[in-house]
Amino acid sequence: MNDKEIMEGILLTAKGVCDLYMHGSIESATPKVQDAFNCALNDALGMQSGVYSAMADHGWYPAEVAQPQQLRQVKTKFANVC
């Protein structure tokens, strides 16, 4: 297993943890429990962001820049939603 594969595994795990904490926050029965989940979620989001940044710095998570025409198409498609 190389470094890229290890980082991909860590990123997937971090994303899964974020999802679990978000659902925990949404389903919380009391404000204290919700605060605990929100705090954990914020920490996990920070960790996920750090892993993503490290991967992007190594070129392991390339991102495409959206072209103006693509942005216009999406805006038009969803202009009447809500």
Could you give the C-alpha distances from 23 to 19, 26, 46, 75, in angstroms and in order? 6, 5, 17, 29
Report d(CA 6, CA 53) in Å as an integer.
15
pLDDT in tens, 25-59: 999 999 999 999 999 999 999 999 999 999 999 99
Token pair 């389903």 is at which residue?
Answer: 27
pLDDT of residue 21: 98
At 28, list the tokens.
């919380």
pLDDT of residue 80: 81
